[in-house]
Structure 1
Amino acid sequence: MPVDDEQPGDPIDILLVEPSPGDTRLFTESFRDGKLANCLHTVSDGESAIDFLHQRGGFADAPRPNLVLLEPNLPATGGRDVLSALKNEPALSDIPVTVLTSSDVGEDIARSHGIEADHYIQKPIEPDEFIAFVQSVEDFWLAIIEEPVADD
């Protein structure tokens, strides 16, 4: 199903929920180095992610993200809580969520902890692998907005 009136090539707002400053820096630099027009917003914990999604507090003027990249292992308010806030709120439930895992068994671990997302992507370990990862995020988004609408 197309999301809002998004068209291929339009910049999108991506919310990155990542507690590691090093990984956040790599994501940010990779988006810039990849010359992607998308806008990457970052928060480092689940509580800030939920506030961003609900546009509360310091995030009152934040855009509604088109995509959430979620590290499930967050301090205090965890990834499962962020997913629950998204999936249980009708206005937010259609935002696709990609869980970032740190190993090839990460999807199984995330699912075993009740973290059901739209997609799972293994985080690259080497900085140059982030460019390929960023491209996969963009390809994922294009697949979403180009998906045909089913007639019910």
Structure 2
Amino acid sequence: MERVLRNLLIVDDNPADVRYTEEMLKEAGVECDRHVVGDGVKALQFLRQRGEYADAPRPDLVLLDWYLPRKDGQEVLAELRADDRLAGVPVVVVTGSRLEAEALRVESEAADACAVKPIGADELRRFAERLGGARRLA
């Protein structure tokens, strides 16, 4: 059965970065339902379908900012991977520093990929196709 990217969770506390990511997804031709949360606690609530996110869909791909309020990306990723129900959700860790992204690629086996902000349309399309199962539309 072919996987299709239906639901994308963007975890980022910077509204400008979220808007840019959404613009790049459109430019890349990646069509899916996009969900946005602004901190690590809300990300875990969304993923675990708790509280206001009780009806949240399971994301096919998570774009996870490394620096978040309340719980940072490292904590979110560790909890996600420790949860048997969520361990298989693909995660792209996003950071603002190229050096940090390189270090994360080496150090973090839990992330499926790492990227530097801002993520361009082509890179987002590759992540969506490779990790989220998206079919290219254009």
TM over 0.5: yes
Q: Residue 63 of structure 2 contacts residue 91 of structure 2 at CA under 8 Å; is this kept in 1?
A: yes
Q: Residue 13 of structure 1 contacts residue 38 of structure 1 at CA under 8 Å; is this kept in 2?
A: yes
Give the RMSD, CA atoms, in angstroms. 2.5
- The structure 2 residue matched to 1:101, chosen from 79, 95, 100, is 95
Matched length: 134
Pair 1:75-2:75 in alignment: no
Q: Residue 12 of structure 2 contacts residue 18 of structure 2 at CA under 8 Å; is this kept in 1?
A: yes
Question: How does 1:59-74 map onto structure 2 within 5 Å?
Answer: 59-74=53-68
Q: Residue 46 of structure 1 contacts residue 74 of structure 1 at CA under 8 Å; is this kept in 2?
A: yes
Contiguous gaps of at least 5 residues in structure 1: 146-152
| Structure showing greater relative contact order (alpha-carbon pairs closer than 8 Å, 6 or more residues apart) | 2
Cα deviation, 1:37-95, whole Å, max 9, x if unaligned, reads 22221111001000000001111111011111111100121111111221111000011
Pair 1:121-2:90 in alignment: no
Q: Residue 83 of structure 1 contacts residue 115 of structure 1 at CA under 8 Å; is this kept in 2?
A: no
**Cα distance, 1:113 vs. partner?**
8.1
Contiguous gaps of at least 5 residues in structure 2: none
Q: Residue 15 of structure 1 contacts residue 69 of structure 1 at CA under 8 Å; is this kept in 2?
A: yes
**Cα distance, 1:35 vs. partner?**
3.4
| TM score, norm. by length of structure 2 | 0.82
Determine which structure has more spread, i.e. the larger CA radius of gyration.
Answer: 1
- The structure 1 residue matched to 2:50, chosen from 36, 53, 56, is 56
| TM score, norm. by length of structure 1 | 0.75
